[in-house]
Amino acid sequence: MNFSDKYQDVINQARKLVQPALDLSDRMMREVAERSPSGLRERITQVVERPGKRLRSILLFLLASSNGETRDLKRMARAAASVEMLHLASLVHDDVIDSSEFRRGLSSMHSAFGNKIAVLAGDYMLAQSLIFVLEEEDRRIPQSLAKAASLLVAGEILEIDLARNTDISFEEYIRVIEGKTASLLVSCAKCGAILAGYNSEIVEESEKLGLHFGIAFQIIDDILDYGIGAESLGKKKFEDLQNGLITLPMLLYFQKNPKEEMENLIKNAYDSHIANLIVEKLKNANCFEEAKAVACSHLFKAAEVLEKLPSNPINTLLKDFFEAMAERRN
């Protein structure tokens, strides 16, 4: 079995294990979409029903089940529905900001209905995401999700501020990731640990797990944007590059090469020939391999936290989940 097959096999195992919780959270989101006011109902239903990997929900459900005890399925599903609705709202807004025409192989909301509708629909979904956990008995869960929503926006703004800035530092790059991607995964891990009934020390350790997993996830995403190892991105290749986003492979290139030639190429990255030339330069400088090594180091740190959890088949699957994540191709 090659690494790509292993990734898909692990994801399928994990999804099968938590399928009842996934089905319930999906149903909760569809019900929210169907109850939406006229003008929003059809549009939000289209977003909610689009196929997605649901990796955030899977992580939450696995951690919530990792203590070897039966947990409240409805509480788990509400927390996951909140996370996924917040994530979908952020994607709707991202597509407006990036002028993306497609999302997961289908027309983005803003390309189908216009920017005004997309922004307002995203706002409505954000509000609904927090309503899912409004009555949650453990107040740490809604607090965590509200914090994630704030950090997500702050990360997106920082990314916009730093776009086309070839002097961006590694620390600034990580700060962007911590906000726009890792914040939601931190919340997923924290909510999962809370729902599992772990003590405050393990809950805190689980937040670290989510942080490292989120950083690794985004670094791999940034590599895939260049078409390296990608099979189906659900978005246009080179989109980050054409939007002037300086991600880790390019940062690593700048560390050991003069910037001027590459800066001129980046300005013309909308040309597919130029974009492919950029990829070749990064390949020759081993930037993709080095970026993947950084991602793997964060996945290793995430997996270390699992050593503090009970030894059982679910935690073994979580370890496999982290190991296989480095080989995802979409």
Q: What stretch of H or E contains 197?
A: none
pLDDT exceeds 60 at position 3 = no
Length of the chain: 330
Taking the C-alpha atoms of residue 157 and residue 170, their distance in angstroms, rounded to an integer, is 17
More confident of the two residues 157 and 327? 157
Full-model pTM: 0.92
Q: Quick one: pLDDT at residue 23?
A: 96
User: How far are the Cα atoms of 27, 100, 224 from residue 238, in angstroms, in the given order?
Assistant: 34, 12, 9
Task: Please count the other Cβ atoms lying within 10 Å of the Cβ belonging to residue 166.
Answer: 15
More confident of the two residues 83 and 94? 83
Q: Quick one: pLDDT at residue 18?
A: 94
User: How far are the Cα atoms of 5, 6, 28, 54 from residue 12, in angstroms, in the given order?
Assistant: 10, 10, 22, 11
What value does the mean pLDDT take over residues 215-242? Answer: 79
Token pair for residue 111?
């390309």
Cross-strand pairs, 102: 107
pLDDT tens digits, residue range 140-166? 999 999 999 999 999 999 999 998 899
pLDDT tens digits, residue range 100-138? 777 766 777 888 778 898 899 999 999 999 999 999 999
Taking the C-alpha atoms of residue 54 and residue 313, their distance in angstroms, rounded to an integer, is 21
Token pair for residue 93?
């807004």
Task: Please count the other Cβ atoms lying within 10 Å of the Cβ belonging to residue 316.
Answer: 11
- Cβ contacts of 169 within 8 Å, gap of 6 or more: none
pLDDT tens digits, residue range 251-289? 999 999 999 999 999 989 889 899 999 999 999 999 999
**Structural domains of the chain sorted by starting position, each given as residue range(s) with its CATH number in brackets:** 10-322 (1.10.600.10)
pLDDT tens digits, residue range 176-200? 999 999 999 999 999 999 999 999 9
Q: Quick one: pLDDT at residue 51?
A: 77
